[in-house]
Amino acid sequence: MSYPTRQLYYAGKHQPATSNKIFQTVDPATSKSLGDVQQAAPSDIDSAIASAQEAFPVWSTMSPMERSRILLKAVALLRERNDALATVETHDTGKPFTETSTVDVVTGADVLEYYAALIASGGLDGETTRLRPDAWVYTTKNALGVCAGIGAWNYPIQIALWKSAPCLAAGNCMVYKPSEFTPLHANLLAEVYTEAGVPPGVFNVVHGAGDVGAYLTSHPSIAKVSFTGQVSTGSKVAASAAGGMKYVTMELGGKSPLVILPDCEVENAVDGAMMANFFSTGQVCTNGTRVFVPRSMLPDFEKVLLSKMPNVRSGDVFAPSTNFGPLVSKVHYEKVLAYIRHGIDSDKAKLIHGGADPASPKGANSAGFWVQPTVFTNCTDSMKITREEIFGPVMCILPYDDVEEAVTRANDTPMGLAAGVFTKDVNAAHKVVERLQAGITWVNTWGESPAEMPVGGWKLSGVGVENGRKGLEAWVKNKSTLVEMGGIVGTVFSKL
């Protein structure tokens, strides 16, 4: 499969890059090229930002209802083209079509629909306060201007929509840079917005690697940076943005704890742990890779887990039975295998499933970036595989003796993106969740992030939230106005 060369997209149309540089995007399932992508030069980024600046006065002064109608047309187009867009996502990310067709485009469209409905129903309204009989205060929410969105490679179109939906709904314009590993979706989304009636320049796309992102996010005309990626890169982006006093939203990595309480049914505990580790081949920032299991439950937990591991089915990524794909790129493949080898050779963790041996799924191209779903048990908190984010299908089981101990150990991490509890006792679940240091928490489930739910990390895992009502607040600046109606201007400089 090959795709036409991807150009840049600004001023409402595809534009050739002037850098004379291209890079290729690769199908992770086959390691073969999917097509060429033109890399933006600094002057191209300047042009994209200029087109957004030109569009901002038009888009931001439209009524929320007008913007809502246009964005809802984009929602309809996304849903209509769901399978075609999901096919592109499967080729570009390696994720099974069973996943991209039911999650990636769907959840992105959900968020766009949510914000379109929210602004149409007063989501951008301010507040009015009667201060005293002859004075009152009112607030307004104002668009920020031209914003930068930096996407990640694990959920390309979903993340692009999670960023652009509230951005555009609030009246801003966006220059979006997708990951260089999964760039194919970006121009297609831009075309959808244009077809729906979004004015030229409101949503723009520039392609490239970190240098393109750095130029974009540090540009003096950018009012806000929304970034999704690893902690180390996010720290640099946030520091650069802070120097320019830009607004920021940072959705970064995690090393999330999944705490199984002693009363939990083993079957439910195992199903939850598998969803938290092997969905999307473990390439999910919120994955619960540190699984805390009561020591008394450990033998049964391992037994049931091993009996269910055959249900993790790799193979032809377009086959209806496949639910586990390859890793996204060769560099990431090598990184994950290095962690697995370290777990075996240096951490001396007990390997009970998978490992670093090459995987050759039936019906799939063995040249793809395939790994085995891997499980280590009897892990300790000091091991590298339990402390660092692997971002792959590697589960670390950590036995514990009492719940107090489990909570303390669960919080012993510089990251705080997600956490979860599995139990039959809802009261106990609330008490444990309240003490877990994470911005996203689940009880008896894992991974769902609906449009209505604000999500964001604590500690090094991020700044701000995406989605929900609070997610819209991240894309506006507030103005407060005090109006005096008494007819006399108060002063302390009166004649004595």
Of the candidates 100, 228, 105, 102, the residue with the CA atom closest to the CA atom of residue 163:
228
Burial tier of 465 (Cβ tally within 10 Å: 0-12, 13-18, 19+):
buried
Q: What are phi and psi of 429, to 5 degrees?
A: -60, -45
- For the chain, count helices (H), then strands (E): 16, 22
Give the CA count within 13 Å in the CB-facing half-sphere of 415. 29
DSSP secondary structure, 299-354, as one string: HHHHHHHHHHGGGS-BS-TTSTT--B---S-HHHHHHHHHHHHHHHHTS--EEEE-
**Annotated catalytic, 127?**
no
**Residue type at 53 in one-letter notation:** Q
Q: At what angle do helices 403-410 and 426-435 cross, to 10 degrees?
A: 40
Of the candidates 299, 313, 290, the residue with the CA atom closest to the CA atom of residue 266:
299
> Does residue 185 contact residue 38 with C-beta atoms inside 8 Å?
no
Both tokens of 90, joined, read: 């499967």
Of the candidates 386, 399, 425, 182, the residue with the CA atom closest to the CA atom of residue 295:
399
**Residue type at 298 in one-letter notation:** L
- CA distances to 48, 226, 274, 484 from 55, in Å: 11, 20, 46, 36
- CA distances to 129, 418, 466 from 489, in Å: 20, 53, 44
Both tokens of 353, joined, read: 């499933």
> Does residue 229 contact residue 150 with C-beta atoms inside 8 Å?
yes
The secondary structure of residue 62, as a DSSP letter, is S
Q: What is the rounded CA–CA span in Å between residue 57 and residue 11?
A: 14
> Does residue 291 contact residue 277 with C-beta atoms inside 8 Å?
yes
Query: Residue 341: CB partners within 8 Å, gap ≥ 6?
Result: 356
Choosing from 113, 180, 191, 251, the catalytic residue is 251
Both tokens of 401, joined, read: 């003796």
In angstroms, how far is the first alpha carbon of the chain from the final one?
Answer: 87
Q: Which residues does the annotation mark as catalytic?
A: 251
